[in-house]
Amino acid sequence: MNILANIIASLPIEVPVNAGALLWILPICLSISLVYKAVKIEKFTMQLFVREALLLFITMVGFLIFVSFILLGINWLVSIF
């Protein structure tokens, strides 16, 4: 088992660095919101669960977009000075 772990650990993993790679944020945010709301809702109904999970997903993605624009603005300010 240790030999197999060493072989797998030595294989190079190519992580794409492009705009398309950022789309992986969406399923991660969806998974986090589904699991979080499944644990936190006290009175579980499917309608409440879907609404709360969707609201959390939209909030997370919206906040990430907001932060990305803030960082883009900081990058622009740094590059002109």
Domain count along the chain: 1
CA distances 72 to 58, 61, 65, 77, Å, are: 21, 16, 10, 9
Range of the domain at 49: 43-81
Residue 36 located in a structural domain: no
Residue 30 located in a structural domain: no
Residues 31 and 39: their CA atoms lie apart, in Å, by 12
Residue 76 located in a structural domain: yes
The answer to whether the beta carbons of residues 36 and 44 sit under 8 Å apart is: no
The answer to whether the beta carbons of residues 37 and 52 sit under 8 Å apart is: yes
Could you give the angle at the alpha carbon of 21 between the alpha carbons of 24 and 62, nearest 5°? 55
Residues 54 and 29: their CA atoms lie apart, in Å, by 10
pTM given for the model: 0.76
In the predicted model, what is the mean pLDDT of residues 17-35? 90
29-79 pLDDT, tens digit each: 999 999 999 999 999 999 999 999 999 999 999 999 999 999 999 999 999
Residue 22 located in a structural domain: no
pLDDT at residue number 16: 76
Please give the residue that has the higher pLDDT: either 10 or 54. Answer: 54
